[in-house]
Amino acid sequence: MTEVIGVKFRTAGKVYYFSPRGVNFSRGEYAIVETSRGVEYGEILLENKEVPEEKIVAPLKDIIRKATEEDRLKYEENHKEEQKAYAICQEKIKEHGLEMKLIDVEYTFDRGKALFYFTAEGRVDFRALVKDLAAIFRTRIELRQVGVRDETKLLGGFGVCGRPLCCHSFLSEFAPVSIKMAKDQGLSLNPSSISGVCGRLMCCLKNEEEVYDFLNSKLPALGDFVTTKDGLKGEVVSVSVLNQKVKLIVNLEKEDEKELREYAVSDLKFKPRRKMDLE
């Protein structure tokens, strides 16, 4: 077991492990740490904790120190400089006629590197742009192309639910989302109904996948034939997953007479679609 602390550098950013070097940290404090990008200012999200060696990506880097008030002021000053750098980079993109959209600018804490995030339809030759930016800011320049989901995570916004976007507020990593999840949840497959601000399938489909898997496992499939509690047999024509109700076309006692009826799933006899481990 190794003692670590968890540090994040962005809202809803990934949490990285660092060695506290015997210093006790509390959640919400800040620290100065050395990362692969350079010296960074990060928030403590996980207090001192022992974790198994296999969960650590070696080598485990040490913290430099606890952040001070002066560090906080420098961090805020960096944000102001990032806004200026954004405006300058926009002008340079126009000068060079590059087909790219600037998304965000980020300085490392010591300003040893400036990262410019952008989106583009294809490959962009930005070598001349990098030279101009390096001459202006006199620091290492890195241009990083990101996808539409990453763009939305960086910029933020509001979803159709009226709440801040999950990816910008608390999701540290994107989970795979498939159209099957929308089908299992009985949603309209109209792209405008199941797509997020980024234009991709909504991340919240993944959040509810486990619940819908469990509820669907207790329901018959469309087209299945089931027996009702009053001895009638019928074909499943629709199911209400959340209400756990099923609509059937049942065969009545009179010859060739059928009727559409709704039953609670507990009033039906059928073979479940699949068994789930409930333990």
Q: What is the pLDDT of residues 145-174, one digit of tens each?
A: 999 999 999 888 898 888 999 888 888 888
Q: Do 235 and 201 share a structural domain?
A: no
Tell me, yes or no, whether 77 and 60 share the same domain: no
Count of structural domains within the chain: 4
Closest CA to 112 of 37, 48, 182, 51: 37
One digit per residue, the tens of pLDDT, for the chain of length 279 reads 888 899 999 887 888 999 888 889 999 999 999 988 889 999 999 899 888 887 887 788 889 999 999 999 999 999 999 999 999 999 999 999 999 999 999 999 999 999 999 999 888 899 999 999 999 999 999 999 999 999 999 888 898 888 999 888 888 888 899 999 998 888 888 888 899 888 899 988 998 899 998 998 888 988 889 999 888 888 999 888 989 999 999 887 766 788 898 999 999 988 776 544 433
pLDDT at 86: 96
Residue 212 inside a domain? The answer is no
Which residues constitute the domain of residue 111? 73-146
pTM confidence score: 0.75
Tell me, what CATH number does 103's domain have?
A: 3.30.300
For residue 93, the SS3 value is: helix
Q: Are residues 41 and 60 in the same domain?
A: yes
Model pLDDT for residues 100-124, shown as the tens digit of each residue: 999 999 999 999 999 999 999 888 8
CATH code assigned at 242:
2.30.30
The predicted structure's pLDDT at residue 141: 95
pLDDT given at position 108: 93
The confidence score (pLDDT) of residue 277 equals 41
Whether residue 142 is found in the same domain as residue 77: yes
Q: What is residue 273's predicted lDDT score, i.e. its pLDDT?
A: 65
In a domain? residue 107:
yes
User: Which strands form 39-51's sheet, in the order they lie side by side?
Assistant: 16-18, 2-8, 39-51, 30-34, 63-66
Last residue within a domain, chosen from 42, 67, 92: 67
Q: Please indicate, yes or no, whether residues 92 and 63 belong to a single structural domain of this protein.
A: no
Asked, for residue 125, whether it belongs to a domain, the answer is: yes
> Would you state the pLDDT for residue 274?
57
Query: Where a domain ends, among 146, 175, 194?
Result: 146
CA distance linking residue 195 with residue 278, whole number of Å: 31
The C-alpha atoms of residue 152 and residue 66 are separated, in whole angstroms, by 32
Q: Are 203 and 231 within one domain?
A: no
